[in-house]
């Protein structure tokens, strides 16, 4: 079934000039880009976006990282979009990522791992609403 997911090219990958290469990987993997925007997250936005991790040892550092420079947020569509994007990304820790995944190619460590993807369809719908209004999803 056609499904939507939310992805973020994180500040490390944007700063390294890898935005275009990651977008090409996403399109070549069969995703349709429904919406896309470059922006710098405000602290409160990053805190709220990663609310589920509040209190964990990496939370403060994660919020600092996600606000250190611009990100590219996008709404994506394809069959099984959530799972297929997670496949393309690779696991959270780039050291454990398979060849050809975004995190293997462009991630640095378990925090600075180049890309975000929603972890479940329900999360995806919430995260899409967090960044985009219905009329922006073309
Ligand atoms: P994301 O939600 O960004 O797509 P994920 O679902 O693979 O990544 P989560 O467990 O949701 O991983 O963690 C969110 C983000 O927090 C990670 O992508 C990474 O940037 C950071 N992070 C997770 N675990 C750690 C850790 N042990 N140490 C440092 N940073 C971490
Ligand atoms: Mg996650």
The ranges assigned to domains in the chain are: 2-136
Average pLDDT, the chain: 98
Region of residue 114 (left: phi > 0; alpha: psi -120 to 50; beta: else): left
The answer on pLDDT for 46 being more than 90 is yes
**Rounded CA separation 34/109 (Å):** 29
- Pick from 133, 138, 131: which is nearest to 37 by CA? 131
pLDDT band at 138 (very low <50, low <70, confident <90, very high): confident
Among 10, 103, 112, 116, the one annotated catalytic: 116
pLDDT of residue 34: 97
Mean pLDDT calculated for residue range 111-138? 96
Structural contact between residues 58 and 112, judged by C-beta atoms closer than 8 angstroms: no
**Rounded CA separation 5/121 (Å):** 7
Distance from the CA of 80 to the center of ligand 2, in angstroms?
17
pLDDT of residue 13: 99
The answer on pLDDT for 82 being more than 90 is yes
Mean pLDDT calculated for residue range 9-16? 99
Measured from CB, residues less than 6 Å from any atom of ligand 1 are 53, 58, 62, 92, 110-111, 113, 116-117, 119
Mean pLDDT calculated for residue range 59-86? 98
The answer on pLDDT for 58 being more than 90 is yes
Q: Which residues pair with 115 in a beta bridge?
A: 9
Distance from the CA of 16 to the center of ligand 1, in angstroms?
19
Mean pLDDT calculated for residue range 125-136? 96
**Rounded CA separation 106/18 (Å):** 8
pLDDT of residue 1: 86
**Rounded CA separation 94/70 (Å):** 21
Mean pLDDT calculated for residue range 67-93? 98
Mean pLDDT calculated for residue range 2-19? 98
CATH superfamily of 2-136: Nucleoside diphosphate kinase-like domain (3.30.70.141)
């Amino acid at each position: 079934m056609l499904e939507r997911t939310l992805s973020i090219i994180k500040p490390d990958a944007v700063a390294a000039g890898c935005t275009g290469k990651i977008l090409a990987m996403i399109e070549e993997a069969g995703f349709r880009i429904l919406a896309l925007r470059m922006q710098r997250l405000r602290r409160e936005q990053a805190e709220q976006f990663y609310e589920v991790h509040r209190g964990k040892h990496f939370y403060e550092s994660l919020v600092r990282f996600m606000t250190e420079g611009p990100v590219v947020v996008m709404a994506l569509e394809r069959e099984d979009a959530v799972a297929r994007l997670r496949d393309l990304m690779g696991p959270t820790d780039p050291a454990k990522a398979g060849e050809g995944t975004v995190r293997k190619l462009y991630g640095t460590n378990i925090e600075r791992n180049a890309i975000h993807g929603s972890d479940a369809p329900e999360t995806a719908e919430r995260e899409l609403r967090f960044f985009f209004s219905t009329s922006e999803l073309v």
